[in-house]
């Protein structure tokens, strides 16, 4: 039998802290063969990234391998000399980090950094090293690779930076590549291209892949096996298809119940987040570590002593004493959220809204009086309506103008043209400093990153209380305190959290504070900009349910900006699809996930990661360049990447907006009756199963 590329044998890792030794990982064992792909999943703090760092021996001065062995191609990593370890890193094992800029030197060109890799691993000819780098940039589908070689990292987009890091990891043909959240924050189209690229290169070179992620849809798409971690140990492992179809450990079942499914109705089947959170390593219970959060715990049995990882004699393993008993028990029926039918009254009416930015002419042309500044069209002729108590989702790739629309509505920018009538007031040309307190109160926002909007110097209670006082919800100190406590209780924050500062809270708790602050003024409408994009699935489910519950209880209207189509399918009543500042399609959420589709919508849906059987099929892989927003051309802005392009009409004539009998709007030259006949994406397609 062929020896595995990577073998972890009962590995334990601890960190030295001021409060003592903290055991981060205990007794982890796993193997990855050549050309195989293994997913490592779990919530933040479970030890996933520590495993990756331990393999690379990047634990830092405070981290230490306290037990077990890590074998890479049969050699024990802990016994390598510094010189042998340097050769192993990059040469035999490489790592792709979550944030590409943390791995790229901003002072060196892309070419200089890429050429360093083969030169450090035996290549003597610098010209040959650069040729190898150019060749790999072509393989990762970067446009004009020779120009990219001369660019600095900050001159590239996030997707381009990630492709450069992947190319860097693969330059020395390593036997193992570790990918730590390689696609977090990327658009689904870019994510699809990156994971397909990694899979194809793995098949070509026989590279073993270790994916570290909390994105279960991604793991289902790209991995053959999965290991689920909780509180520093593996609690379940096996083939991806079997584990996700028939989870045995209560924690795995809980993770899957946190995810929106295609068949779920938000009114009848709310998501079920796992209660509580992973405890600190020094506070782990003596028995099963999941006991404090488990609905199937048997007192006196599950908490009596350590639980071993049990193998079934095949490929499945589970760390649970009651998994056979639990398998016969149905999950408790979900509580029903009886939403009232959304009111028909229009709350926000956007008509022909445009936001253009002047971009100064550079070089000698700036001194020529006839050379005008160019216009960047961030939003161009946007038209849609939002009805009261409705959830409208705005989706599209980065740079499509979603956040610009939010800034215009909030008054942080003023529109170049058009109207945005909200509660009988046109906000398009009304900056935030000219809005009355009543207008400010009625429209609030939940931001993607709460750290950027919470003042670290003030307590949570003080920041929420300021909103309550400013908008006249309460005046007296006691009344303000009571309202703060009520809001924190509504957002399910721990008792006493009003006196804590943001630095003392977790990411999910900070987002809850942001939501409490947004609802503090009893707004008519909330704009939520990527509210759960960087959160674990359990925390994400809790935040989503919190927003929907508050919306139902208070009759608030939600405008959700997101690139997570699974989330959009679950929460939205209507969907607006944007591309390069323009609207491609508008319709109900039910309509949007069934043909006919605009070709761009079809591509977004087909590339979205999912483990739903209803979404399995073939998918469109977009290629071609995105036109500049300063010169999108006279025709359809999507024609440069469209797999269904008709010809010159798409390049030169702006598509008409077609309407279906239900009111759905699609801006495309292809007649709706023809789009309705399309059931399988054509053009540039690949099989959905890209697992090596």
What is the tens place of the pLDDT at every residue in 249-262? 999 999 998 888 76
544-552: average pLDDT = 87
Q: Pick the more confident residue, 369 or 100.
A: 100
Q: CB atoms < 10 A from the CB of 406, how many? A: 19
In this predicted structure, the answer to whether residue 56 has a pLDDT above a threshold of 60 is yes
Rounded to an integer, what distance in angstroms lies between the CA atom of residue 496 and that of residue 479? 17
Lowest average pLDDT, out of 311-315, 495-499, 611-615, 644-648, goes to 611-615
326-350: average pLDDT = 69
5-27: average pLDDT = 91
400-412: average pLDDT = 92
Lowest average pLDDT, out of 368-372, 441-445, 576-580, goes to 368-372
Rounded to an integer, what distance in angstroms lies between the CA atom of residue 404 and that of residue 377? 10
Nearest to 189 by CA among 479, 407, 396, 49: 396
In this predicted structure, the answer to whether residue 333 has a pLDDT above a threshold of 90 is no
Is-contact 47 24, C-beta < 8 A?
Answer: yes
Rounded to an integer, what distance in angstroms lies between the CA atom of residue 443 and that of residue 100? 35
Q: What is the pLDDT of residue 172?
A: 82
Q: Give me the residues paired with residue 12 across strands.
A: 67
Question: For the packed helices 477-490 and 460-470, what is the interaxial angle rounded to 10 degrees?
Answer: 110
Q: Which residues are CB-neighbours of 139 under 8 A, at least 6 positions away?
A: 167, 197, 201
Q: What is the pLDDT of residue 536?
A: 80
Q: What is the pLDDT of residue 613?
A: 41
In this predicted structure, the answer to whether residue 621 has a pLDDT above a threshold of 70 is no
Q: CB atoms < 10 A from the CB of 298, how many? A: 14
In the 8-state DSSP scheme, what is residue 385? Answer: E
Give residue 198's pLDDT band: very low, low, confident or very high (50, 70, 90): confident
Rounded to an integer, what distance in angstroms lies between the CA atom of residue 223 and that of residue 182? 14
Pairing of strands 665-667, 208-212: unpaired
Between the alpha carbon of residue 628 and those of residues 148, 185, 575, 637, the distances in Å are 18, 22, 25, 9
- In the numeric block, the tokens 């608030």 are attached to 556
Lowest average pLDDT, out of 140-154, 362-376, 413-427, 631-645, goes to 362-376
Pairing of strands 425-426, 582-588: unpaired
Rounded to an integer, what distance in angstroms lies between the CA atom of residue 593 and that of residue 569? 8
Average pLDDT, the chain: 85
Q: Give me the residues paired with residue 11 across strands.
A: 28
Rounded to an integer, what distance in angstroms lies between the CA atom of residue 529 and that of residue 452? 13
Q: What is the pLDDT of residue 562?
A: 87
In this predicted structure, the answer to whether residue 527 has a pLDDT above a threshold of 90 is yes
**What string of DSSP letters covers 55-120?**
HHT--TTTEEEEEEEEEETTEEGGG--HHHHHHHHHHTEEEE-SSGGGTS-TTS-HHHHHHHHHHH
In this predicted structure, the answer to whether residue 633 has a pLDDT above a threshold of 90 is no
Rounded to an integer, what distance in angstroms lies between the CA atom of residue 601 and that of residue 595? 10
- In the numeric block, the tokens 């950094």 are attached to 113
In whole angstroms, what separates CA 650 from the centre of its chain? 32
Give residue 263's pLDDT band: very low, low, confident or very high (50, 70, 90): low
567-589: average pLDDT = 92
- In the numeric block, the tokens 């090596």 are attached to 692
Tell me the three-class secondary structure of 179-211, residue by residue: EECCCCCCCHHHHHHHHHHHHHHHHHHCCEEEE
Rounded to an integer, what distance in angstroms lies between the CA atom of residue 641 and that of residue 400? 14
**What string of DSSP letters covers 307-372?**
-PPEE-SSS-EE--TTHHHHHTSPPPPPPP--PPPPPSSEEEEEEEEEEEEEEPPPGGGGG-TT-P
**pLDDT tens digits along 123-138:** 888 999 999 899 888 8
**pLDDT tens digits along 425-459:** 999 999 999 999 999 999 999 987 788 789 999 99
Q: What is the pLDDT of residue 604?
A: 87
**pLDDT tens digits along 209-239:** 999 988 888 898 889 999 999 999 999 999 9
Region for 447 from its dihedrals, namely left if φ exceeds 0, alpha if ψ lies in -120 to 50, beta otherwise: beta
DSSP H or E stretch at residue 54? helix 48-56
Rounded to an integer, what distance in angstroms lies between the CA atom of residue 562 and that of residue 17? 38
Give residue 681's pLDDT band: very low, low, confident or very high (50, 70, 90): very low
175-185: average pLDDT = 84
Percent of all residues in the chain with a pLDDT value above 70, rounded to a whole number: 89
Nearest to 106 by CA among 142, 156, 147, 171: 156
In this predicted structure, the answer to whether residue 332 has a pLDDT above a threshold of 90 is no
Lowest average pLDDT, out of 22-31, 400-409, 546-555, 614-623, goes to 614-623
Pairing of strands 346-359, 374-387: antiparallel
Give residue 563's pLDDT band: very low, low, confident or very high (50, 70, 90): confident
Q: Pick the more confident residue, 558 or 140.
A: 558
Rounded to an integer, what distance in angstroms lies between the CA atom of residue 422 and that of residue 579? 24
Handedness of CA 352, 658, 685, 603 (dihedral sign): positive
Between the alpha carbon of residue 322 and those of residues 168, 314, 621, the distances in Å are 46, 19, 44
Q: What is the pLDDT of residue 451?
A: 80
Lowest average pLDDT, out of 33-37, 79-83, 97-101, 164-168, goes to 97-101
Handedness of CA 645, 648, 649, 654 (dihedral sign): positive
Q: What is the pLDDT of residue 33?
A: 93
Tokens standing for 562?
């997101």
Give residue 465's pLDDT band: very low, low, confident or very high (50, 70, 90): very high
DSSP H or E stretch at residue 539? helix 537-554
Give residue 652's pLDDT band: very low, low, confident or very high (50, 70, 90): very high
Q: What is the pLDDT of residue 683?
A: 35
Pairing of strands 525-529, 557-561: parallel
DSSP H or E stretch at residue 462? helix 460-470
Q: Which residues are CB-neighbours of 689 under 8 A, at least 6 positions away?
A: none
Q: Pick the more confident residue, 264 or 117.
A: 117
Give residue 625's pLDDT band: very low, low, confident or very high (50, 70, 90): low
Q: Give me the residues paired with residue 374 across strands.
A: 359
Give residue 552's pLDDT band: very low, low, confident or very high (50, 70, 90): confident
Rounded to an integer, what distance in angstroms lies between the CA atom of residue 681 and that of residue 643? 9
Pairing of strands 574-579, 391-395: parallel
641-664: average pLDDT = 90
559-577: average pLDDT = 90
Tokens standing for 360?
């100064």
Tokens standing for 328?
């016969």
477-505: average pLDDT = 87
148-164: average pLDDT = 83
243 burial via Cβ count (<10 Å: 0-12, 13-18, 19+) = buried
Rounded to an integer, what distance in angstroms lies between the CA atom of residue 246 and that of residue 231? 22
DSSP H or E stretch at residue 554? helix 537-554
In this predicted structure, the answer to whether residue 300 has a pLDDT above a threshold of 70 is yes
- In the numeric block, the tokens 């500042």 are attached to 581
In this predicted structure, the answer to whether residue 364 has a pLDDT above a threshold of 50 is no
């Amino acid at each position: 039998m062929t020896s595995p590329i990577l073998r972890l044998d009962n590995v334990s890792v601890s960190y030295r802290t001021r409060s003592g030794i903290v055991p981060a990982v205990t007794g982890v064992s796993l193997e990855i063969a050549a050309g195989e792909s293994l997913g490592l999943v779990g919530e933040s703090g479970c030890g996933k990234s520590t495993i990756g760092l331990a393999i690379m021996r990047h634990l830092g001065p405070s981290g230490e391998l306290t037990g077990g062995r890590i074998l890479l191609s049969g050699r024990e990593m802990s016994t390598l000399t510094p010189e042998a370890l340097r050769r192993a890193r990059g040469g035999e094992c490489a790592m792709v980090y979550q944030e590409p800029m943390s791995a790229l030197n901003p002072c060196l060109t892309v070419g200089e950094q890429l050429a360093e890799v083969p030169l450090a691993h035996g290549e003597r000819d610098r010209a040959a090293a650069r040729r190898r780098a150019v060749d790999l940039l072509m393989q990762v589908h970067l446009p004009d690779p020779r120009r990219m070689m001369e660019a600095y990292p900050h001159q590239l987009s996030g997707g381009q930076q990630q492709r450069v890091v992947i190319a860097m990891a693969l330059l020395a043909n390593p036997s193992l590549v570790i990918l730590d959240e390689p696609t977090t924050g990327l658009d689904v189209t870019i994510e699809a291209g990156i994971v397909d690229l990694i899979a194809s290169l793995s098949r070509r070179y026989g590279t073993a892949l270790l994916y570290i992620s909390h994105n279960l849809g991604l793991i289902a798409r790209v991995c053959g096996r999965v290991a689920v971690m909780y509180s520093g140990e593996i609690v379940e492992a096996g083939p991806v298809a079997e584990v996700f179809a028939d989870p045995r450990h209560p924690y795995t079942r809980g993770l899957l119940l946190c995810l929106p499914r295609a068949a779920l109705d938000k009114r009848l089947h709310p998501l079920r987040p796992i209660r509580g959170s992973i405890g600190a390593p020094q506070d782990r219970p003596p028995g099963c570590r999941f006991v404090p959060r488990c609905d199937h715990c048997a007192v006196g049995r599950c908490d009596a002593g350590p639980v071993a990882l049990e193998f079934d004699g095949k490929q499945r393993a589970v760390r649970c004493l009651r998994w056979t008993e639990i398998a016969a028990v149905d999950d408790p029926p979900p509580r029903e959220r009886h939403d009232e039918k959304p009111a028909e009254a229009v709350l926000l009416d956007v008509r022909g809204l445009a936001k253009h930015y002047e971009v100064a002419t550079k070089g000698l042309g700036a001194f020529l009086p006839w050379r005008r500044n160019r216009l960047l069209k961030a939003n161009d002729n946007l038209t849609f309506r939002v009805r009261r108590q409705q959830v409208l989702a705005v989706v599209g790739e980065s740079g499509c103008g979603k956040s610009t629309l939010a800034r215009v509505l909030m008054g942080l920018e003023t529109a170049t043209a058009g109207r945005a009538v909200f509660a009988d007031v046109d906000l398009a040309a009304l900056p935030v400093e000219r809005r009355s307190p009543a207008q400010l109160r009625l429209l609030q926002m939940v931001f993607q990153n709460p750290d950027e909007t919470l003042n670290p110097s003030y307590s949570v209670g003080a920041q929420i209380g300021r909103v309550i006082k400013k908008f006249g919800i309460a005046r007296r100190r006691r009344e303000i305190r009571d309202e703060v406590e009520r809001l924190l209780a509504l957002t399910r924050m721990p008792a006493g959290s009003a006196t804590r500062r943001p630095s003392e809270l977790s990411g999910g708790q900070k987002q809850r504070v942001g939501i409490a602050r947004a609802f503090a003024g009893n707004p008519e409408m909330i704009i939520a900009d990527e509210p759960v994009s960087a959160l674990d699935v359990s925390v994400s489910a809790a935040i989503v349910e919190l927003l929907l519950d508050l919306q139902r209880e208070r009759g608030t209207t939600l405008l959700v900006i997101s690139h997570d189509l699974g989330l959009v399918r679950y929460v939205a009543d209507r969907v607006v699809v944007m591309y390069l500042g323009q609207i491609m399609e508008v319709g109900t959420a039910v309509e949007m996930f069934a043909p006919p589709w605009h070709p761009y919508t079809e591509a977004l849906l087909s590339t979205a990661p999912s483990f739903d059987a209803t979404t399995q099929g073939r998918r469109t892989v977009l290629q071609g360049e995105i036109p500049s927003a300063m010169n999108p051309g006279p025709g359809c802005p999507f024609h440069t990447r469209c797999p269904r392009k008709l010809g010159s009409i798409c390049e030169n004539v702006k598509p008409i907006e077609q309407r279906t009998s239900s009111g759905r709007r699609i801006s495309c030259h292809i007649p709706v009756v023809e789009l309705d006949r399309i059931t399988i994406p054509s053009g540039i397609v690949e099989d959905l199963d890209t697992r090596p």
